[in-house]
């Protein structure tokens, strides 16, 4: 299984920390110290997870033949429409008849769950060229005045073409992939929530989310390396879920890897949910060299986690 191409879309409006200083009295230094976030993007009126899906696909079209896509998997926890899901919007745009189309959510860890769903369709021989779209419109459900988590969130989307067979020398091979739920832990169902009818996104137990993210991402990373018969010495980069720069640094520290191996965009984009890692992969795509190995590891509310090893 290969990642043949990836693209991303970011809304143009930039929201700096001073917005939250004005609203909530949180200083920019305090926000940066606690989260690493300097600014984030905010979707314009009329933009949503479905329009950002279309924008991400438009940017993928020059890089990949999407006319032969035979599976679409979308992911979001900030849906514009739960019936006309972003996967349906993508199919409508591409005009491909009667292929399997599904949207999923495991919160911020959905990118890897979406790719694992693709892996299943490939194993069944029900598909061989899958379009995966991750799109988050956090600001549609966020309360900017929430002093606990209002300043964390940003908007953005990414699209990936995943193929069963190698398409080009530049493809990333997916060497291994695992996902898991950690909802058995005590505060998993209350730590961070997104209830459309009850005020949107909230993080009553941020510390519990932080602790579990810092435990699960290194654990899953080591597990996927072991399954692939590799060690940390074989890893060029780690791309963790972009939730908080302190979590990312904690993950690198636990793994004993230097910060030069950390890929991060949270400083500029905030927490873009399940789109974060895919946006980062898209932003950095041209900088990777043949043979480079990246561990992408995610943790999301609910809780869920995952790790994927890819090699160029």
Nearer to its own copies, 57 or 257 (CB): 57
Among 180, 218, 240, 270, binds its own copies (CB under 8 A): 180
Cβ neighbours for 183, distance < 8 A, ≥ 6 positions apart: 189, 302, 303, 304
Please provide residue 61's backbone torsions phi and psi, each rounded to the nearest 5 degrees: -55, -40
What residues from 76 to 135 belong to the interface with its own copies (CB under 8 A)?
Answer: 76-85, 87-89, 91-92, 94-107, 113, 116-117, 119-121, 123-124, 126
Nearer to its own copies, 16 or 204 (CB): 204
Nearer to its own copies, 22 or 92 (CB): 92
The answer to whether residue 45 forms part of the interface with its own copies (CB under 8 A) is: no
* Cα–Cα distance, 144 to 147 (Å, whole number): 8
Task: Report residue 79 as tokens.
Answer: 């849906």
What residues from 278 to 307 belong to the interface with its own copies (CB under 8 A)?
Answer: 300-304
Cβ neighbours for 197, distance < 8 A, ≥ 6 positions apart: none
For the bound state, the minimum distance from the C-beta of residue 182 to its own copies, rounded and expressed in Å, comes to: 7
For the bound state, the minimum distance from the C-beta of residue 294 to its own copies, rounded and expressed in Å, comes to: 22
- List residues bridging with 159 in a β-sheet: 7, 133
Among 27, 68, 189, 253, binds its own copies (CB under 8 A): 189
List Cα–Cα distances, 166 to 1, 59, 293, in angstroms.
7, 21, 16
Nearer to its own copies, 77 or 237 (CB): 77
* Cα–Cα distance, 308 to 116 (Å, whole number): 10
Contact letters (x/-) for its own copies, 57-76, by CB under 8 A? ---------------x---x
Please provide residue 209's backbone torsions phi and psi, each rounded to the nearest 5 degrees: -60, -45
> Contacts with its own copies: how many residues (CB under 8 A)?
62
* Cα–Cα distance, 165 to 47 (Å, whole number): 35
For the bound state, the minimum distance from the C-beta of residue 223 to its own copies, rounded and expressed in Å, comes to: 10
What residues from 132 to 151 belong to the interface with its own copies (CB under 8 A)?
Answer: 140-141
* Cα–Cα distance, 3 to 288 (Å, whole number): 13
Is the torsion defined by CA of 53, 56, 62, 66 positive or negative? negative
Q: How many CB atoms lie within 10 A of CB 261?
A: 16
Contact letters (x/-) for its own copies, 190-209, by CB under 8 A? x-xxxxxx---x--------
Note the residues at the interface with its own copies (CB under 8 A).
72, 76-85, 87-89, 91-92, 94-107, 113, 116-117, 119-121, 123-124, 126, 140-141, 179-184, 188-190, 192-197, 201, 300-304
């Amino acid at each position: 299984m290969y990642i043949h191409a990836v693209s991303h879309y970011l809304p143009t409006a930039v929201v700096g920390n001073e917005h939250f200083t004005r609203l909530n009295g949180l200083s920019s230094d305090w926000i940066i110290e606690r989260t690493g976030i300097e600014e984030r993007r905010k979707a314009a009126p009329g933009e949503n997870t479905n329009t950002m899906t279309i924008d991400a696909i438009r940017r993928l079209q020059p890089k990949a033949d999407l006319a032969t896509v035979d599976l679409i998997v979308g992911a979001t926890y900030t849906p514009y429409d739960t019936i006309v899901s972003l996967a349906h919007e993508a199919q409508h745009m591409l005009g491909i008849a009667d292929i399997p189309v599904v949207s999923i959510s495991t919160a911020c860890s959905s990118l890897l769950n979406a790719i694992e769903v693709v892996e299943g369709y490939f194993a069944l021989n029900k598909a061989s060229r899958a379009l995966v779209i991750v799109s988050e419109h956090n600001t549609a459900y966020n309360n900017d005045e929430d002093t606990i988590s209002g300043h964390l969130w940003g908007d953005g989307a990414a699209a990936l073409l995943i193929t069963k067979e190698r398409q080009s020398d530049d493809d990333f091979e997916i060497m291994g992939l695992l996902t898991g739920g950690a909802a058995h832990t005590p505060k998993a169902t209350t730590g961070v929530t997104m209830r459309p009818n009850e005020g949107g996104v909230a993080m009553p137990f941020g510390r519990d989310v932080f602790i579990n993210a810092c435990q699960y991402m290194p654990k899953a990373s080591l597990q996927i390396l072991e399954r692939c018969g590799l060690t940390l010495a074989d890893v060029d980069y780690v791309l963790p879920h972009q939730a908080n720069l302190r979590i990312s640094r904690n993950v690198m520290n636990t793994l004993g890897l230097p910060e030069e191996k950390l890929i991060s965009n949270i400083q500029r984009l905030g927490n873009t949910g399940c789109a974060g890692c895919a946006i980062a992969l898209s932003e950095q795509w041209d900088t990777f060299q043949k043979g480079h190995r990246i561990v992408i590891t995610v943790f999301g509310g609910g809780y869920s986690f995952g790790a994927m090893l890819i090699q160029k």
